[in-house]
Amino acid sequence: MKRAIFCIFFAVTVLSGRADSVTRIACVGDSITYGAAIRDRANHCYPKVLGDLLGKGYTVRNYGVNGATLLKNGDRPYWKLGAFKQATDFGPNVVILKLGTNDTKPQNWGKVGKEYEADLRAMVTHFKSLPSKPMIYLCLPVPVYQTRWGINEKTVKGGVIPVIRKVARDESLTVIDLYQALSGKPAMFPDKIHPNAAGAKLMAQTIHSVLKKKH
């Protein structure tokens, strides 16, 4: 029933040219969402490419922040950043949540990693409670091709991803598997952590394919 209502909403959005019927999509995340290390980031980060793929009737905003963690007690909690308030005030109809890469750093996961599940649930609850009642999608982190800045593949695979899948099941949310989509593609990661423009495009295409199937 919920899906049917949302499909109707999307149909009305596409057919109507009114500004107030534009579907607002908030891309919440870290430097990978922001587009760090991408040349001409403004035009090649994944949220911009996603907006281009979706076309008329959608407004996609980039709320990625370099170094951001989902953990409230991490070294740079997204909760305390201006982007969190901006994403909230945007009144999104859809939230694409991709946080977890920076949480794998030893100073984060090693100290408060056990809080990741509760903090993820809290963020889901926060966005669910907005008057706009957004659909929320949880993204799995992209692969880590070399441990840098404390970011590591072991914790991504064995720590973060299982928790995201668990919360998604419990909350009946859709998972977008960016990990699988970008696996085996180290050439798309010049610094082994951040995808380049080609990687960001693949992220956008993967997210777009899920959105179109659902709506």
Low-confidence residues in the chain, pLDDT < 50: 2, 5, 8-9, 11-18
| Residue listed under structure tokens 């659902």 | 214
Total tally of structural domains belonging to the chain: 1
- pTM comes to 0.90
User: Angle, nearest 10°, between helix axes 197-214 and 46-54?
Assistant: 40
CA 105-45-77 angle, to 5 degrees, is 35
Cα–Cα distance, 112 to 108 (Å, whole number): 6
Tokens of 93: 């109809």
Condensed to tens digits (0 to 9), the pLDDT of residues 139-151 reads 999 999 999 999 9
Cα–Cα distance, 106 to 31 (Å, whole number): 18
The fraction of the chain above a pLDDT of 70, given in percent, is 90
At residue 12, the pLDDT reads 44
At residue 18, the pLDDT reads 42
Condensed to tens digits (0 to 9), the pLDDT of residues 19-40 reads 568 999 999 999 999 999 899 9
Condensed to tens digits (0 to 9), the pLDDT of residues 67-76 reads 999 999 999 9
For residue 103, the domain's CATH number is 3.40.50.1110
At residue 10, the pLDDT reads 52
Residues 168 and 174: beta-carbon distance below 8 Å: yes
Which DSSP string corresponds to 113-165?
GGGHHHHHHHHHHHHHTSTT--EEEEEPPPP-SS-BTTB-HHHIIIIIHHHHH
Q: Which domain holds residue 190?
A: 2-214
Q: Indicate the DSSP class of residue 81.
A: S
Residues 116 and 73: beta-carbon distance below 8 Å: no
At residue 3, the pLDDT reads 54
